Structure formats: structure tokens, C-alpha cells
């Protein structure tokens, strides 16, 4: 599974990393928001192996 989030969204990044997602890269000025401001994104990946190796709760 692959996902991305805004670099400024540190709360989401914390949740993704807690779930086992691995940060792949940061894309600087990856897109422009509705008011014309460049925004950066963080790409994450979660492999089946990592997901299945998580401790069960």
C-alpha cells in the first residue's frame, strides 16, 4: 500500500508510522494548493510483510 500526505501534516505522519508505514521520500513543492502556494508531500509505503509482522493487540 502506498500513500502520501502533506509535509505539514505531522499528525497523519505520526499515525502512518505507528501503523508501520515506511517513509520513502519527501517531494518538495509537489503540488500547488487552491490559493497558489506550493506544497510538499511525504510518500509512505506499507508492505504485506511489515503489516503481517506487526504485534497483534
Give dist(CA 49, CA 19) in Å, integer: 13
Q: How many separate domains does the chain show? A: 1
In the prediction, which pLDDT does 48 show? Answer: 94
For residue 38, pLDDT beyond 70: yes
Q: What is the DSSP string of 7-43?
A: TT-HHHHHHHHHHT-EEEEEEEEEEE-TTS-EEEEEE
- Residue 35 structural domain: 2-53
State the average pLDDT over residues 30-53. Answer: 96
- Whether residue 23 contacts residue 9, with contact meaning beta carbons closer than 8 Å, is answered with no
3-26 pLDDT tens trace: 999 999 999 999 999 999 999 999
* Predicted pLDDT at 57: 64
Amino acid at each position: 500500500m502506498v500513500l502520501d500526505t502533506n509535509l505539514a501534516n505531522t499528525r497523519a505522519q505520526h499515525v502512518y508510522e505507528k501503523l508501520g508505514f515506511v517513509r520513502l521520500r519527501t517531494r518538495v513543492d509537489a503540488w500547488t494548493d487552491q490559493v497558489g502556494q506550493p506544497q510538499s508531500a511525504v510518500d509512505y509505503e506499507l508492505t504485506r510483510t511489515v503489516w503481517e509482522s506487526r504485534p497483534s493487540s
